[in-house]
Chains A and B, each alone.
Chain A
């Protein structure tokens, strides 16, 4: 069952990844990336890494893809296909880098073969409960400090985004 699910999700993730690279429209690329992130998040859940899965959805699928889309929309989503004068050169570099990265991944996987069946750390280390316990007991101080950081971020956003009204006497100068 798990294996079938994994194969299915892996195929979707692969399709998403290919979509990112192959589509001409940047918006389609960003949406394919979303598909890729979401299916990987489900794979994390399959591995009982609940926290990782949730973070994947919130941070990557949520925040980062939205950020991408924002940028794409800001600079104009419909810029059409790029003018490619040196398309072949870029492709060669890109394929070369991808191949090198693939080789690195395969090499590092081979290094740890045969894989042991024993999970790393406590079985429920990645569960929402365990993370919550750690966050509110052992890591309470940085957690609370993060609330200050958010406050600073909000204040800063208000200051920078607010329409500026200079003083009346300044305008007359």
Chain B
């Protein structure tokens, strides 16, 4: 009997986060009869944050090293390590948002942070999977954890509705994914991506399998026409969860999609046209629907659909150019989107039974009340719209550039037109903040939370720095992309 050789260094960051999740879960039992209180919640959050930072350090320490793997199922390459960094960054920022937000509506702090960390683990594993069963199980770990986190605010009907919707449609999309995996297995006799790449027939089974996998990915990425759940779920979920999952899930699913497409066994010409059409639909629909939203969270949800469309342009552009552009965009998106959600979370009325959803009117006259906050929010929104010299501008520039260089000129033009359309709804909020008087509809949580302030500051610095040092950073990511495309 041959026991398999397991190289645990492949999954060091994941192991750290798993251990932290277990510690956080058991922290509930330390100190008998300890009543849940904000201080206690902060202590648990601090442990979780430390775990995330340690895991990020472990991922950074591995950067540049040669790729290693466990039985061809999980691989630690630079692509995987950058993905871990995006996910951990989003998780840390989302955790800071939850710091003071969570005690407002629940006592189940251990459970929240444990589920949160396990969702992080699922995302990290998903981006490192090179085998379909492993990929599917990781996808389920993150999905199930997010279903529960979505419904965490028990005092709100909208949260329950969102969780149920997410769960039912998510289970449905999982079926598509597993069916696609089964067809690919039937075609090649293996679930390893390497074998699929080598043996795929390229016939009906391959195409059908790949198409079904694409549906599964499309759901997780909130790609039109698989986006129906997104506005309700993003609106109903607690804002820290929304902020985290809008970035984390996308990052994990995009990297996994790249891995699957590289091994698709189908020519680039076949799938790139499908992706180009999906990207066009997604950008256009997301931006048009965002124009007429009055809820800030719903508007950002549609904007996140549109951003998934922009990133699909990068996927369409192919492995080398497209991958580095998508990675860059994911980092930029993590900073600017979570930053915007952080400000939105301050505009929501707290409390168990209160309707927490903030309308855009809540931002009225924010500049007069808190000038700094208004300026920062404006910068996040401008970056999302793609105004130079912010991170979002360079993200889009690289994506469109990759598209043009690989011959997708019309796609780049569609993307630019969409950016212009999107500027309308981002600027509408900005105008409300700067040019109107505060009235009874406007609101701001007070006292302002220090943790949220820290998250906003980090996101702000990131948005500015990524804009300034865009070139060198893209080169860094380009090396990871090159190593992946060549492998």
Is A107 at the interface (CB under 8 A from chain B)? no
In the bound complex, do residue B134 and residue A160 qualify as a contact, i.e. CB atoms below 8 Å apart?
A: no
Q: Which listed segment binds A: B49-57, B151-159, B197-205?
A: B151-159
Does A102 sit within 8 A of B, measured CB to CB? Answer: no
Number of interface residues of B (CB under 8 A): 41
Chain A residues 118-149 with CB under 8 Å of chain B are: 133, 137-142, 145-146, 148-149
In the complex, chain B residues whose CB is within 8 Å of the CB of A156: 115, 144-145, 147-148
Secondary structure at the A interface, as helix, strand, loop or mixed, is helix
Closest A residue to B108 by beta carbon equals: A159
* Chain B residue, CB-CB nearest to A171: B352
User: Would B4 and A159 count as touching, CB distance under 8 A?
Assistant: no
Tell me the nearest residue of chain B to A164, going by C-beta. B154
With A141-B73, A159-B115, A167-B352 already in contact, the answer to whether A149 and B107 are too (CB < 8 A) is no
Mark each residue of chain A from 139 to 173: 1 if its CB lies under 8 Å from any CB of chain B, else 0. Answer: 11110011011011101101110101111001001
Residues of A within 8 A of B134 (CB): 141-142, 145
Q: How far is the CB of B105 from chain A (nearest CB, A)?
A: 8
Known: A152-B115, A167-B352. A142 touches B148 (CB 8 A): no
Q: A137 — nearest CB in chain B belongs to which residue?
A: B4
Stretch at the interface among B135-143, B207-215, B281-289, B406-414: B135-143
Q: Is B6 an interface residue (CB 8 A)?
A: yes
Q: Check B352 against A170 for contact (C-beta < 8 Å).
A: yes
Question: Assuming the A-B contacts A151-B118, A152-B118, A173-B351, are A160 and B141 also in contact, with contact meaning beta carbons closer than 8 angstroms in the complex?
Answer: no
Contact with A along B298-311 (1 / 0, CB 8 A): 00000000000000
A173 to B104, CA, bound (A): 12
- Given contacts A138-B71, A140-B71, A142-B133, are A170 and B140 in contact (CB under 8 A)? no
Q: Rank and list the top 4 A-B pairs by shortest CB-CB distance, nearest first.
A: A156-B148, A170-B352, A141-B73, A145-B137
**10 chain-A/chain-B pairs, Cβ below 8 angstroms:** A141-B131, A145-B125, A145-B134, A146-B137, A149-B141, A152-B141, A155-B115, A159-B152, A166-B105, A167-B352
- Chain A residues at the B interface, C-beta cutoff of 8 Å: 133, 137-142, 145-146, 148-149, 151-153, 155-156, 158-160, 162, 164-167, 170, 173
